[in-house]
Amino acid sequence: MTDPVLILGGTGEARALARRLVDTDVPVVSSLAGRVRDPALPVGEVRIGGFGGVAGLTGWLAEHRPVAVVDATHPFAQQISRNAAAATADAGVPLLALRRPEWRREPGDDWIDVADIHAAAAEVGRRSRRAFLTTGRQDVGAFAAQADTWFLIRVVDPPTAELPPRHELLRSRGPYDVAGERELIDRYRIDHLVTKNSGGSMTSAKLTAARDAGVPVVMVRRPALPEGVTSVDSVAAAADWIDQLR
C-alpha cells in the first residue's frame, strides 16, 4: 500500500493507530486540529490545522487520495466527524470511526446522566455548591452563569471563554490516579464531579474516586456518530479494517 491512511486525531487511540500502521509499513498522515499548545505528536507524517469545512476536507482528499480515513477524534468532537462523513461520501473514500468504549456505571456509582453540556450546567446550578469541572477548556463557558457554585476547573491549556465568577483553575494533563483524584475531592470539599463520557483509562480515576467518596457525577452523554458511519472501539479492530482494504 503506497497511498496513505488519513487519521483524524487528537486522541491516544489515534496515536496508537498511527504507531501500529507505521510499524506494519502502512503510510499514514495524522491530522490534528492544532488546539493544544504542546500536543503529543503521533509517529509518521503529521499535518496541523483545520481543513476548511467539508469543502476543504473534500479538496484535501482529492489531492492526497488516501486509501481510507479513520476518524479517531475525541467522541465529543462532533463537527469534524460530521465533516468527515460528508467529505468522504463526496470523495468516495472509505471511512471508519474509532471510538473508545464509553464508561459504564458500576455498583456504588451515583451518576446523573445529561444530554449535553448545557443540561450539565443547569444540573450543577440546581445541585452543587462545590463542583469539580473536568469537561475540558472548550466547554467551560457553559458554566459561566452559575454564580452560586464554586468550581475547581481542571484544564490542559487556559480557557479563553468567560468563566464562572467563583473558581480555581487547575492546569494539568492526565493520566491521573485514584489517590490523587480523591485528594482533590477531599481538599476542595467537592460535592459533585462534572465530566463528559469520554471513556478510556487516562482520566477514569476520577470516577473511582467519586464513587469511593460518595460524590455524585454529572455525566454528559456522548453525541451520536453521523448516520451510516461504521465504527469500531479498538485500535486492533481499526487496523484489521484497514488490512482488509489492501
Does residue 52 belong to the site contacting ligand NAP (CB under 6 A)? yes
Ranges assigned E (strand) in the chain = 5-8, 28-32, 45-48, 68-71, 95-98, 111-114, 130-133, 150-155, 167-171, 192-196, 217-220, 230-232
How far apart (Å, rounded) are the C-alpha atoms in residues 96 and 69?
A: 6
Does residue 66 belong to the site contacting ligand NAP (CB under 6 A)? no
Which is closer to ligand NAP, CB of 54 or CB of 112? 54
Stretch 2-21 residues interacting with ligand NAP (CB under 6 A):
8-11
- Indicate the residue whose CB is closest to ligand NAP: 50
Stretch 109-168 residues interacting with ligand NAP (CB under 6 A):
136, 138
How far apart (Å, rounded) are the C-alpha atoms in residues 140 and 121?
A: 9
The site string for ligand NAP over 178-217 (x = CB under 6 A, - otherwise) reads ----------------------------------------
Give the phi and the psi of residue 215 in degrees, each rounded to 5.
-100, 125
Which is closer to ligand NAP, CB of 163 or CB of 202? 202
Which is closer to ligand NAP, CB of 138 or CB of 208? 138
Indicate which single residue of 24, 55, 79, 165 sits in contact with ligand NAP (rule: CB under 6 A). Answer: 79
Q: Are 238 and 70 in contact (CB under 8 A)?
A: yes
Which is closer to ligand NAP, CB of 55 or CB of 147? 55
**HSE toward the beta carbon, residue 149, CA cutoff 13 A:** 28
Which residues does residue 220 pair with via DSSP β-bridges, in sequence order? 114, 196
Which is closer to ligand NAP, CB of 146 or CB of 195? 195
By CB under 6 A, the count of residues binding ligand NAP is: 24
Give the phi and the psi of residue 152 in degrees, each rounded to 5.
-95, 115
Considering only the stretches 52-60, 100-108, 183-191, 227-235, report the one whose residues sit in contact with ligand NAP under the rule CB under 6 A.
Answer: 52-60
**HSE toward the beta carbon, residue 62, CA cutoff 13 A:** 10
Binding site for ligand NAP (CB under 6 A): 8-11, 31-33, 35, 50-53, 56-57, 73-74, 76-80, 83, 136, 138
